[in-house]
Structure 1
Amino acid sequence: MTAATATEAAELRAQKRAAELRAYRDDGPIARALGQLARGQLPPLAPVLVAAVLTVVALSLGAGIGELPALLAPVSLLLLAGPSATHPHGGRLDWLVPPLIRAIEYGYLAVLGFALDVPEPLVYTLLAVLVYHHYDTVYRTRQGLWPPEWVFQAGLGWDGRMLIAAIAAVFDVTTPVYAALALYLGVLFGWESVRTWVETDKRTGKGAEIDLEEEAGA
């Protein structure tokens, strides 16, 4: 293998890893728009760590009062982590960003739901739908498959889901909104996942390979 070939292979691996980490983040339209404005210049890890601390503080101050603290967590995470959505995520510890965002989203939805007396089975159902979606995304990329872009947009992203939950808390409609989200996302992610696995050759990933060149140019 020549030096040029080795360099090209390393670049392709870096592009693939960056594409995977951005998919694992599960950014929604708002976060991606902020990422486009930042042009990939904001490193992702530090802002997400700060957002995690602010989320814990916000929920500690008043997860159940349905006012400012309930809105503070998703807004702070969006403003801090959103601009890093288009960053290459090539840092040594940038792989921590997706699980941190997952922990913030799951924790926020759980604490908010329990504090506002959303039925526990409904909270667990919504979380189970999200866990399935994120597991499916990770597993599919490891098989050489790739969820279509529209799924991430239609799924609202962590930013959209958390903002919707926060607004629902402010207007005291958390239970019906959690039910609507669980139903909508369950149908969306479940139908798209089953359709993809049925139509795609699992062994070769034919028709669903990652387009690294397109991803790098996005």
Structure 2
Amino acid sequence: MSISATRVNEIPTYRDDGWCGLFLGRFTAGAVPPLLPALAGMVVTGVLVLAGLATLPGLTLFAPVIALLFAGVGSSSAHDGRLDWLVPPLLRVTEYLFIAALGLGAGVASPLVYALLGAIIFHHYDLVYRTRQGNRPPEWLTRAALGWDGRMLLIALAGLFDWLPFAYGVLAGYLWLLFAWESTTSWLATPRDGDKAVDLEEEAV
């Protein structure tokens, strides 16, 4: 069964690409299928996590980030392939896995790791929920939140200089403030129309 036009248009939004991913996508003009690069990034990250990501030396920290940046070349794709709906979940799993494994493996306090993951998960849920209700979050929000690629680059850079606890704490605080402020102001400014609301739990996939 083919993906509906509405769903196809929503998939690139669900990717949550930052500046790097969007920049790479401009070079391909939608010519690169998005699924295989995203899948490759997840596999590389998984292998490095099993090998002990936090103990790998120096620039190896960037290996999963570099692998995922290849997924950026697919950011300009129409995502109209039969399985292209899998791309956003693959990017989500890879980002969460990288942040959790690196933070916990490097001894970052678990509340900081969970606070950062919680902020990102909240953002992704909000992104999907509001988009399906026809109230898509503004593009500047994803840019301000750095995108999945920017967040991973920042965390990897902090790992190189042994600043992980500081980076996790500052990034978590920044993202929670950003998302809470934008979501609250947007909710207050949105006209209430119960007939147009979409219940994600009842909507057929």
Same fold per superposition (TM over 0.5): yes
Shift in Å, 1:51:
1.1
Counterpart of 2:155 in structure 1: which amino acid? A
Check whether the contact 1:59–1:70 (CA below 8 A) recurs between aligned residues: no
Q: What residue number does 1:20 align with?
A: 10
Shift in Å, 1:19:
3.0
Is 2:74 the counterpart of 1:84?
A: yes
1:147 to 121, 125, 137: 137
Shift in Å, 1:179:
0.5
Is 2:164 the counterpart of 1:174?
A: yes
Check whether the contact 1:165–1:177 (CA below 8 A) recurs between aligned residues: yes
Counterpart of 2:129 in structure 1: which amino acid? Y
Q: What residue number does 1:73 align with?
A: 64
Structure 2 residue ranges without an equivalent (≥5): 197-205
Q: Report the structure number with the largest CA radius of gyration.
A: 1
Aligned length: 194
Check whether the contact 1:59–1:69 (CA below 8 A) recurs between aligned residues: no
CA displacement, residues 66-120 of structure 1 (integer Å, 9 cap, x when unaligned) = 5233211011110x20000010000111111001100000010000000110000
| Distance in structure 2 (CA, Å) of the matches to 1:31 and 1:188 | 21
Q: What residue number does 1:127 align with?
A: 117
CA displacement, residues 107-144 of structure 1 (integer Å, 9 cap, x when unaligned) = 10000000110000110010000111000011101111
| Distance in structure 1 (CA, Å) of the matches to 2:64 and 2:195 | 39
The change in CA–CA distance for 1:90 and 1:166 in structure 2 (over 3 A counts) is same
| Distance in structure 2 (CA, Å) of the matches to 1:22 and 1:54 | 22
Q: Compute the TM-score of the two structures, normalised by the length of structure 2.
A: 0.89
| Distance in structure 1 (CA, Å) of the matches to 2:155 and 2:94 | 13
The 5-angstrom pairing of residues 1-218 of structure 1 reads 14=5, 16-65=6-55, 67-78=58-69, 80-203=70-193
CA RMSD, Structure 1 to Structure 2 (Å): 1.9
Shift in Å, 1:27:
0.2
Structure 1 residue ranges without an equivalent (≥5): 1-9, 207-218
| Distance in structure 2 (CA, Å) of the matches to 1:205 and 1:102 | 31
Check whether the contact 1:21–1:89 (CA below 8 A) recurs between aligned residues: yes
| Distance in structure 1 (CA, Å) of the matches to 2:154 and 2:50 | 20
Shift in Å, 1:56:
1.1
Counterpart of 2:161 in structure 1: which amino acid? F
Shift in Å, 1:58:
2.1
CA displacement, residues 1-60 of structure 1 (integer Å, 9 cap, x when unaligned) = xxxxxxxxx9xx52x323311111100011001001111111011111111111112223
Q: Compute the TM-score of the two structures, normalised by the length of structure 1.
A: 0.84
| Distance in structure 2 (CA, Å) of the matches to 1:125 and 1:205 | 35
Check whether the contact 1:143–1:202 (CA below 8 A) recurs between aligned residues: no
Indicate the SS of the match to 2:47: helix
